[in-house]
Amino acid sequence: MEAESSCELLLSRKRRRESSNGETEEGERLGKIPRCTVGLKNPAPFADELEPADKKPYERVSMEEAKTGTPLNRPVRVYADGIFDVFHSGHARALMQAKRLFPNTHLIVGVCSDELTHKYKGFTVMNEDERYDAIRHCRYVDEVVRNAPWTLTPEFLAKHRIDFVAHDDYPYSSAGSDDVYKHIKEAGMFAPTQRTEGISTSDIITRIVRDYDVYVRRNLQRGYTAKELNVSFINEKKYHLQERVDKVKRKVRDVEEKSKEFVQKVEEKSIDLIQKWEEKSREFIGNFLQMFGPEGALKHMLKEGKGRMLQAISPRHSPDSSPTREERSPSPTFRLPFFSKTSPPPSPPHHSGARGYVISEDDDDVEADEDNDEDDDN
């Protein structure tokens, strides 16, 4: 019971509903749901396989007692019946509502046989054994009644100790009656449930009939024979031809898609190449202008080389103001190595017009040295 109560949040989500303007709205959803394990390991048992019920006399509980809550050893026994052909979520939701009618509910589900169903409603897709087994594996079901009656009798209700009958509130006309649940409603044993809009066994069959050719071709492709599908020889060949044509169309469509992808990739690559080429072109032009442009490096190099060449071949200009004699540094005395002290002094050169000859300071120094040598000899 604790596991069931902790997981009731999962079952309390509101189902989708149709709004007044025709748009579907998603109902309010709760937050995160605590982890719990409520799944059953075994399918629901059949009623005729269970041990006999308690020998105490059958006493129904009232609606007030059922809603208030009954002891654990006395659950409210709710009965829901139907054909349940091509079991779907609409069936499961109806059984979920029946299970949650009261705090402590034991859900009994009756499934009509093929004989009654074909007599009062029509041919079914699933046989009775398949429908029984589908109901047994629904998590909300506690007990399954095989070969359930089309109209509920007091004897049947007493045999299975049924307290309430759950079904949608629409009048169900069948077997010569305007509503087969009329006497149940009058006895105060009826508990209404809600239908799930948009899905029913008839809707599913309508979809299959509408797309009959598609499903026949699908099953032929999966290995079913024309005899198993009740398809004539001509229709079989027609379906096979249509399948080949569709394969060719799919191949053509695939080739078109691949070619579009290839063209798109080529365009992307070409755009990348053009962008890279433009970048390299700009870089090359910039480098060329830096080297050979009007103010490029080559022009500066030529100017610098020309200046050096002119500086090398042209003499230096004398300064405007030459230093005076006093400012000059004295000239060092220089003697030739082959002149000795005993060697006669060189004769002064005789120049015509010697008035303008100027004796340098070095010549005076040499003459003074020679006079000093002669004195020493004497």
| Strands 143-146 and 164-168, sheet pairing | unpaired
pLDDT at residue 294, rounded to an integer = 77
Q: What is the distance between the alpha carbons of residues 135 and 145, in angstroms, rounded to a whole number?
A: 10
Residue 17: strand pairing partners: 25
pLDDT tens digits along 235-245: 888 888 888 88
pLDDT at residue 278, rounded to an integer = 86
pLDDT at residue 332, rounded to an integer = 53
Question: Would you place residue 247 in the very low, low, confident or very high pLDDT band (cuts 50, 70, 90)?
Answer: confident
- Expressed in angstroms, the distance from the first to the final Cα of the chain is 156
Number of H-type helices and E-type strands within the chain: 13, 7
Q: What is the distance between the alpha carbons of residues 243 and 223, in angstroms, rounded to a whole number?
A: 14
- Residue with more model confidence, 354 or 219: 219
Q: What is the distance between the alpha carbons of residues 266 and 296, in angstroms, rounded to a whole number?
A: 40
Domain 63-198 fold: Rossmann fold (3.40.50)
DSSP string, 253-304: HHHHHHHHHHHHHHHHHHHHHHHHHHHHHHHHHHHHHHHHSTT-HHHHHHHH
Residue 79: strand pairing partners: 108, 165
State phi, psi for 17 to the nearest 5 degrees.
-135, 155
**CB-side neighbour CA atoms (13 Å) of 96:** 17
pLDDT at residue 157, rounded to an integer = 94
Q: What is the distance between the alpha carbons of residues 91 and 167, in angstroms, rounded to a whole number?
A: 11
pLDDT tens digits along 304-318: 877 778 778 876 665
Domains of the chain, residue spans: 63-198, 202-304
> How many residues in total does the chain contain?
378
pLDDT at residue 58, rounded to an integer = 81
Threshold 0.85, pTM exceeds:
no
As a 3-state breakdown, the chain gives helix, strand, coil percent values, each rounded to 5, of: 45, 10, 45
- Mean pLDDT value of segment 270-279: 86
pLDDT tens digits along 183-211: 999 999 999 999 999 899 999 999 999 99
